[in-house]
Structure 1
Amino acid sequence: MDNTTLIGLPSNRNLTSTDLAVAGYLARYAGTTRKTYEHTLRVLWRWCKGNGLDLLTDVKRHHLEIFLRYLEEDRHNKPASIAHHASVVKGFYRFAAIDDYIVKSPAEHLRTPRLYMDESSTLGLERMELGALIQTAKASHPTDGALIVLMGMLGLRVSEACAVRVEDYRHEERGHRVLKLVGKGGKPATVPLPVQVIRALDAAAGERVSGPLLLRKSNGQPMNRKAAAGVVARLCRKAGIDKHITPHGLRHSFVTACLDAGAPLRDVQIAARHSDPRITARYDRGRHNLDRHANHTVAAFLAGAA
């Protein structure tokens, strides 16, 4: 393993088992995920090389524990970053064992830092703030309106919103107008469209029947993540919103709005396409409301019987 691209391994040198194990692991992933996983393995490889260890054959559990301490004390990585690196390392050695490059994963019992989520950072905009932002966006430009609606009213990730094409939302299914997209991890999704959303998307499409839905006002090129972040920041200032809101913050706002509106947790999980309901539950502003505590429900249920 060296500084060559691991997926496109060079054919002009003899490949080691380490090269093949790393390439085989990274080949499972694509895009940003592959890049971040490759970065982790490069950090581990350099650390192993500096300590005279072969990444594949010499590493034991105690070496990996020392590596995590190195990340904390020498690289000054935060607990979330260390946990991410640990997860990648565990995955790499697990598949190295599956593929018979090693007998047993040295990361099987590797300690993972305990993380505590700052729940306040996941709540996004309040109802009136989100409404003001949507109105400001629609009044600004059709593309602005469609971008904010896709993220704030449908909960799309910024990359998903930028990838929407005009033909993607022209489908009908079971009496509903729907948007068909490919989401995180390559998972296809069908998203029903409320009337307000359809109007915003139609305004952005104009007379076009195909091609990218969101075109930048400045040059007519398709919207990208960087441009979308600029649009969100500009519209937040214009709407008088002082909070620092990123495009992903609008997805947070969507999930929180669903829960505040009383939608069942399971329905919100499906709408947000979260793999775990615990992720969705982080956004529930009312979960610490003692008026909603289950004790009251049980007391009412047992009234007259106990």
Structure 2
Amino acid sequence: MSLQPHQSWSPATPETAHQFTEAWLANRRLSEHTRTAYRRDVRTWLTWCADRGLEPLRATFLDVNTYARQLETRLAPATVARKLSGVSSWYDFLVKLQAVTTNPVGGADRPYVDRDHSATLGLTPEEVDALLAAAATAGKRTHAMLTLLADLGLRVSELVGLDLIDMSYERGHRTVRFTGKGGKARRRALTPATAQVLDEWLTERGLAAGPLFRTSTGGRVDRYAVFRLIRRLATQAGIAEAGRLSPHSLRHAFATTARAEGVPLEDVQDAMGHADPRTTRRYDRDRHNLDRDPTYTIAAARARRNSA
């Protein structure tokens, strides 16, 4: 069935709700990981409505508030906010279809999320080195995956989505192309050291087309395998709280180290694919370091003037 504005859908059946969801996702430029997460978030909301005999097309902000408060009993505020964001986008689509007149999430009381803080556990440069050393003993594929995460600050979805065809050359640089958040096509340079680690894996992997990082059966390595791998290697390397680490920990370390080494904020932002520089600053765990307080720079400049 083709969905068109002005069509009557009240009450919505599970089949119609599924059609809404698939049409909504088809109209968005999203990575497969984001698409899967949004589909899951809407399904969770629809199941919650069904369990209470609530027609989702007649839900109000009060219903969304009740749903959110229940989620908050077991999930972090940032996770609840993300789930509500997906449901809100779904309702925005239904408003455009004129299936509903208003978005009930719009008037809901969403949880406060500190945009200046990330709950992701970060890593020091020394811990990153230890993790890479452990990866080097675990096989060429493992070493290559963790090196790309550490040296490029990739999202895990970007890493596992890479194909052999994404490896290229541009203006004297070895490069890797990938689809970033929001479906944006992006490319990054590979340093000689990073390229060497990757080439060692490519030699072992062979030249067959397909996923860059394959399983023993030829399938694509999934993001959950990378999570488990990082925690196992972190335990092996003796890193504290290894069980709380994630691929995103390496992404945080990338941002923090780049800023500590003097890379301009806008360059780090571009490298990480952030639309908002505030997001990049949130990743920088060293941003409140008093050694970087501008007062020292101002005082040094004044001292130079006074001594001239």
Q: Shared topology, TM-score over 0.5?
A: yes
SS at match of 2:174: strand
The CA deviation at 1:114 is 0.4
Q: One-letter code of the match for 1:206?
A: T
- Which of residues 168, 178, 191 in structure 1 aligns to 2:188? 191
Change (3 A) 1:265 1:25: same
Q: One-letter code of the match for 1:16?
A: W
Q: Hey, what does 2:42 align to over in structure 1?
A: 41
Unaligned runs of 5+ in 1: 1-7, 10-14
Is 1:269–1:280's contact at 8 Å kept on the other side of the alignment? yes
Is 1:122–1:282's contact at 8 Å kept on the other side of the alignment? no
The CA deviation at 1:77 is 4.2
Would you say how many aligned residue pairs link Structure 1 and Structure 2? Answer: 289
Q: Hey, what does 1:247 align to over in structure 2?
A: 247
Q: One-letter code of the match for 1:36?
A: A
Q: Please show how residues 1-306 of structure 1 align to structure 2 within 5 Å.
A: 16=9, 18=12, 19=16, 20-28=19-27, 31-49=32-50, 52-56=53-57, 58-72=58-72, 76-116=74-114, 119=117, 121-122=119-120, 124-169=122-167, 171-206=168-203, 208-211=206-209, 212-216=211-215, 222-244=220-242, 245-297=245-297
Change (3 A) 1:142 1:123: same
SS at match of 1:24: helix
Q: One-letter code of the match for 1:178?
A: T
The CA deviation at 1:201 is 0.7
Q: One-letter code of the match for 1:287?
A: R
Is 1:123–1:256's contact at 8 Å kept on the other side of the alignment? no
Change (3 A) 1:38 1:134: closer
TM-score calculated relative to the size of structure 2: 0.78
Q: Hey, what does 1:3 align to over in structure 2?
A: none
Counterpart Cα distance in 2 of 1:234 and 1:51: 42
Counterpart Cα distance in 2 of 1:223 and 1:50: 36
The CA deviation at 1:301 is 6.2
Q: One-letter code of the match for 2:180?
A: G
Change (3 A) 1:231 1:94: closer
TM-score calculated relative to the size of structure 1: 0.78
Change (3 A) 1:205 1:44: closer
Is 1:61–1:109's contact at 8 Å kept on the other side of the alignment? yes
- The root-mean-square deviation of aligned C-alpha atoms, in Å, is 3.3
Change (3 A) 1:186 1:134: same
The CA deviation at 1:227 is 3.3
Change (3 A) 1:190 1:42: closer
Counterpart Cα distance in 1 of 2:86 and 2:118: 27
Q: One-letter code of the match for 2:202?
A: A
Change (3 A) 1:120 1:23: closer
Q: One-letter code of the match for 2:189?
A: P
The CA deviation at 1:23 is 4.1
- CA shift digits 1:160-219 (9 cap, x unpaired): 3233333422x2212211111223332211110100011001111117334343345x66
Counterpart Cα distance in 2 of 1:69 and 1:232: 33
Unaligned runs of 5+ in 2: 3-7
Is 2:252–2:284's contact at 8 Å kept on the other side of the alignment? no
Counterpart Cα distance in 1 of 2:41 and 2:212: 35
Counterpart Cα distance in 2 of 1:114 and 1:132: 36
SS at match of 2:152: coil
Counterpart Cα distance in 1 of 2:38 and 2:208: 35
SS at match of 1:286: coil
* Identical-residue share of aligned pairs (%): 35
SS at match of 2:81: helix
Q: One-letter code of the match for 1:288?
A: H
The CA deviation at 1:268 is 0.8
